[in-house]
Amino acid sequence: KCVHCGFCTATCPTYVTLGNELDSPRGRIYLIKDMLENGRPADKEIVTHIDRCLSCLACMTTCPSGVNYMHLVDHARAHIQQTYKRPLLDRLTRAVLAFVLPYPSRFRAALKLAGLGRPFIRLFEKLPDLKPVAAMLKLAPSAVPPASPMAKPGTHTGQGTKRGRVAILTGCAQSVLDPAINETTISLLTRLGVEVV
């Protein structure tokens, strides 16, 4: 269904940042189509470009043809999982992130440990296999805010006249990196009479 108009490139953060056609939705569609229609196993180049997709789906909002990019990327990622053996460090990194990110207490502890690794960033940058570790250490904040008492799952009752009920997705990273955002959102909604779950 893609007509290759390129509207998606203007809203794709990886294309805007990197300027590489293969890091745009249109470029990834070419790669995915070639890989899946020809039954080819994924290779390092394809994996690199598919992995760079943030799955923000901004491209879908601007696509005049209504291409279901999410569906295509999901199929590509499943194919990659079945046909491509990632390097050991990549597999370890993914396993650690899967173990840490969904759990705020583990994520908080990992960020504190990252502070111990900061002095080694320059060393890690010189070693090709450890460049991703250096990049992650650079992204880690120098201080981790304390946990919010509102971060615990539960119901927050609205004040005064009940105006509605909403569910809030607190996010695995935001609840640790900037818990004040969730706290303020919950506080504001409950003040307006909205029950938050």
| pLDDT(7) > 80 | yes
Q: Give the pTM.
A: 0.74
Work out how many domains the chain is built from and give that number: 3
Asked if residue 62 and residue 12 are part of one domain, the reply reads yes
Q: DSSP 3-state assignment of 156?
A: strand
Asked if residue 17 and residue 57 are part of one domain, the reply reads yes
Given pLDDT bands bounded at 50, 70 and 90, which one contains residue 19?
very high
C-alpha triplet 80, 13, 136: angle, nearest 5°: 70
Nearest by Cα to 183 from 153, 138, 150: 150
Residue 108 lies in a domain: yes
Are 53 and 46 contacting, i.e. CB atoms less than 8 angstroms apart?
no
Asked if residue 154 and residue 107 are part of one domain, the reply reads no
Tokens of 160: 């005064």
How far, in Å, are 24, 104, 135 from residue 117 at the CA level? 33, 20, 11
Given pLDDT bands bounded at 50, 70 and 90, which one contains residue 150?
confident
Sign of CA dihedral 168, 170, 174, 176: positive
- The whole-number pLDDT of residue 123 equals 95
- The whole-number pLDDT of residue 148 equals 82
Domain of 107 in residue numbering reads as 88-139
Residue 1 lies in a domain: no
Residue 144 lies in a domain: no
Asked if residue 75 and residue 94 are part of one domain, the reply reads no
Asked if residue 78 and residue 11 are part of one domain, the reply reads yes
Asked if residue 111 and residue 67 are part of one domain, the reply reads no
Asked if residue 94 and residue 77 are part of one domain, the reply reads no
Asked if residue 29 and residue 72 are part of one domain, the reply reads yes
| pLDDT(152) > 80 | no
Are 84 and 42 contacting, i.e. CB atoms less than 8 angstroms apart?
yes
Residue 2 lies in a domain: no
Residue 45 lies in a domain: yes
Q: Which residues contact 134 (CB under 8 A, 6 or more apart)?
A: 121, 122, 124, 125
Nearest by Cα to 57 from 102, 4, 14, 2: 14
Asked if residue 11 and residue 45 are part of one domain, the reply reads yes
Asked if residue 46 and residue 95 are part of one domain, the reply reads no
Whichever domain contains 59, its CATH number is 1.10.1060.10
Residues 117, 126: Cα–Cα separation, whole Å: 15
Work out the percent of the chain whose per-residue pLDDT is above 70: 99
